[in-house]
């Protein structure tokens, strides 16, 4: 699943609602989880991410892996590739390949829930003036690939009453989808409950 939203909406705290979670943190801002005692691994390089993947592939202590965030991880990887590449275009090509593979590898881990947290980006159409919101990561290829690589894309927002919600169905304003067909158009920010709903279709 991908969960995306703007800064401060509660994406990192959402990870604590998942069953037996561990967070791979590239953001460095885990103050919002203070007192919740959620295990985490800090990832700053491609090697860190690879080491974390190898560890979690063999570890049965956790049911949910949260990558917080795929946006920040992509920016970190891009910085590394820019140092090695002869030109910027080459770096972005390597980025698309590497991050797409990363998402697939984590997504396909057996017996694990995997949540990719992402930043949100607002795009404004110059002709119509209308705005749309979508998951953000540097590079066009990643932006277009992310929604197709996962079963759920949920936009985290705050409703008119001030409650945090997860939008699971796309509108003209934002990207979202639910391949399971089990989720309501708006869900409470509780990943344990959401995972139960999704699995209820298969059982």
pLDDT digits (tens, 9 = 90+) for 173-189: 999 999 999 999 999 99
Give the whole-angstrom CA distance, residue 149 versus residue 102: 11
Nearest of 56, 58, 54, 52 to residue 73 by alpha carbon: 52
Cα separations in angstroms, 193 against 89, 187, 200: 42, 9, 11
The residues pairing with 66 across neighbouring beta strands, listed in sequence order, are 23, 115
Question: Where would I find the beta strands (DSSP E) of the chain?
Answer: 2-5, 21-25, 40-42, 64-68, 113-124, 131-136, 152-158, 164-167, 177-178, 186-187
pLDDT beyond 70 at 29: no
Helix (H, G, I), strand (E, B) or coil at 88: helix
Nearest of 79, 62, 175, 77 to residue 115 by alpha carbon: 62
Look up the pTM and report it.
0.89
Give the whole-angstrom CA distance, residue 155 versus residue 68: 15
Amino acid 163: pLDDT: 93
73-129 pLDDT, tens digit per residue, is: 888 888 888 888 877 788 888 888 888 898 999 999 999 999 999 999 998 888 888
Amino acid 16: pLDDT: 92
């Amino acid at each position: 699943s991908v969960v995306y939203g703007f800064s401060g909406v509660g994406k990192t705290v959402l990870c604590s609602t998942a069953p037996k979670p561990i967070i791979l943190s590239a953001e460095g801002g885990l103050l919002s989880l203070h007192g919740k005692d959620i295990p985490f691994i800090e990832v700053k390089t491609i090697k860190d991410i690879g080491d974390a993947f190898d560890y979690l592939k063999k570890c049965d202590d956790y049911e949910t892996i949260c990558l917080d965030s795929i946006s920040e991880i992509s920016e970190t990887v891009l910085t590394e590739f820019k140092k090695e590449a002869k030109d910027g275009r080459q770096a972005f090509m390597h980025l698309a390949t590497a991050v797409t593979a990363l998402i697939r590898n984590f997504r396909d881990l057996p017996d694990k829930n995997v949540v990719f947290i992402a930043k949100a980006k607002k795009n404004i159409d110059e002709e119509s003036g209308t705005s749309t919101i979508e998951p953000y990561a540097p590079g066009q290829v990643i932006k277009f690939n992310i929604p197709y690589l996962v079963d759920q894309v949920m936009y985290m927002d705050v409703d008119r009453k001030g409650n945090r919600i997860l939008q699971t169905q796309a509108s003209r304003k934002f990207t979202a989808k639910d391949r399971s067909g089990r989720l309501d158009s708006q869900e409470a920010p509780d990943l344990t409950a959401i995972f139960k709903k999704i699995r209820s279709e298969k059982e």
